[in-house]
Amino acid sequence: MGSLVKKGTSSSLMTEFLEKCGGYAVVDGGFATELERHGAHIKDPLWSAKCLITSPHLVTKVHLDYLESGANIIITASYQATIQGFVAKGLSVGEAESLLRRSVELSCEAREIFYNRCNKGSWDFDHAGKASRRPVLVAASVGSYGAYLADGSEYSGVYVDSVSKESLKDFHRRRVQILAKSGADLIAFETIPNKLEAEAYVDLLEEEGIDIPAWFAFTSKDGVTVPSGESIIECAEVADSCKKLVAIGINCTAPRYISDLVISLRQVTHKPIIVYPNSGEVYDGLNKKWIKSEEESEEDFVSYVSRWREEGASLFGGCCRTTPNTIKAITNVLSCESSAPSKLKFW
């Protein structure tokens, strides 16, 4: 059984989905870091994609935990799953392509299991107590070229000086083609650290005739620019020009920067805005370790959500080091707000 979302044009998919969800949607939380919290060893060039080979049952478990926490969108384990990365591990191209498809199958299977449980948690109840099945989308993750480099380059974007737009397109092409035909509802281009990669993705979506919608999520370390130094506004303009994109936003960025970024995005786009920040901890890419932040806590994260909504975001979740508890808290904040008189804005 597929999702409850009717297939239509790219732009209608997200509009109809958000309407079905009540005007906003909950995205899942940190995926790789949650695998790690459950004991997976992912200090590896494949990072979370290693679990597609070694522990697919854990991938399913993490998806299910996020669905049980209230997520309307689950993101596949393909963030660092690249054909080039799998081949470097000794797999054939065919095996690599199968693993990409498997990442989507695992998410779709988790959605099926969740729906089939038919317990109270898989149903939403309106104020009259009427039950309706919660809409759930599967977003196929595409991490940046910097993710494949496996040294935290998605937080620096510096590789922009050693690649061209064409080489980035060639790097991502086959993976994007496969994920587009895998049964996912949309593609999530995540943790984008520079404008060049956004331009490469836009070209790919157009030139390859990709027929499922997508979102772009940029990362930032200051609330104004992406890590390469280009302004978030310039990057959002590139994204806004692409008809296939149904949302634009920010991921894996400290919560304290999100407000300014949402305000900037709103200046250049009418598309839905998605935000899924990390915990605020800082990643040491060399040692693949997270360094605690004195400046932020989980409570801070959740207390920001209403503000982000006021500022114009409509999809909310978490990225690295956030957990099902973070997503439960976001779900609670948003559902409490929705039972209050509506302040919803449609852009």
Ligand X SMILES: N[C@@H](CCS)C(=O)O
Q: Which residues are annotated as a binding site for Zn(2+)?
A: 252, 319-320
Q: 71 to 110, contacts with ligand A1LUD by CB under 6 A?
A: 80
Binding residue for ligand A1LUD (CB under 6 A) from 285, 293, 300, 335?
Answer: 285
Q: How far is the CB of 210 from ligand A1LUD (least distance, A)?
A: 24
Of 48 and 326, the one with the shorter C-beta distance to ligand X is 48
How would you label 138-172 residue by residue, b for 16+ Cβ within 10 Å and e otherwise?
Answer: bbbbbbbbbbbbbebbbbbbebbeebebeebbebb
Write the burial class of residue 194 (CB in 10 Å: 0-12 exposed, 13-18 middle, 19+ buried): buried
Q: Name the residue among 261, 201, 271 with its Cα closest to residue 226.
A: 261
Nearer to Zn ion, 122 or 194 (CB): 194
Tokens representing residue 21 in the block: 């969800």
Q: Does 183 bind ligand A1LUD (CB under 6 A)?
A: no
User: Token pair 């399913």 is at which residue?
Assistant: 60
CA 56 vs CA 9, 104, 117: distances in Å? 32, 11, 20
Minimum CB–partner distance for residue 319 and Zn ion (Å): 3
Of 22, 23, 56, 152, the residue at the interface with ligand A1LUD (CB under 6 A) is: 152
The reply to whether 319 sits near ligand X by the rule CB under 6 A is yes
Partner interacting with residue 150 (select from ligand A1LUD, Zn ion, ligand X, none; CB below 5-8 Å by kind): ligand A1LUD
Give yes or no for residue 224 binding ligand A1LUD (CB under 6 A). Answer: no
Smallest gap from Cβ 240 to ligand X, in A, equals: 22
Q: Which of 229, 330, 319, 236 is nearest to 24 (CA)?
A: 330
How far lies 205's CA from each of 108, 144, 147, 271, 317, in Å? 23, 15, 20, 17, 25
Near ligand A1LUD by CB under 6 A: residue from 27, 210, 320, 333: 320
288 binds, among Zn ion, ligand A1LUD, ligand X, none (CB under 5 to 8 A by kind): ligand A1LUD
Q: Name the residue among 140, 143, 165 with its Cα closest to residue 155.
A: 143
Which residue, chain included where needed, has tokens 């976001």? 330
Neighbours of 231 (CB within 10 A): 14
Q: How far is the CB of 42 from ligand A1LUD (least distance, A)?
A: 8
Determine the interface stretch with ligand X among 28-36, 65-73, 89-97, 98-106 (rule: CB under 6 A).
28-36
Nearer to ligand X, 124 or 317 (CB): 317
| Residue 322 sits in the site that holds ligand A1LUD (CB under 6 A) | no
Query: Footprint of ligand X on residues 117-176 (CB under 6 A)?
Result: 141
Among 32, 184, 187, 200, binds ligand X (CB under 6 A): 32
List the single partner that 274 binds among Zn ion, ligand A1LUD, ligand X, none, CB under 5 to 8 Å by kind.
none
Radius of gyration of the chain (CA): 18
Cβ atoms of 193 and 157 closer than 8 Å: yes
194 near ligand A1LUD (CB under 6 A):
no
Q: Is 188 in the site for ligand A1LUD (CB under 6 A)?
A: no
- Using CB under 6 A as the binding rule, the residues of this chain from 277 to 316 that contact ligand X are none
Host H or E run for residue 282: strand 282-284
Please provide residue 146's backbone torsions phi and psi, each rounded to the nearest 5 degrees: -60, -30
Can you tell me the distance from the alpha carbon of 66 to that of 149, in angstroms, rounded to the nearest whole number?
28
Binding-site members are: 252, 319-320
Q: Which residues bind ligand A1LUD (CB under 6 A)?
A: 47, 80, 147, 150-152, 154, 191, 252, 283, 285, 288, 320
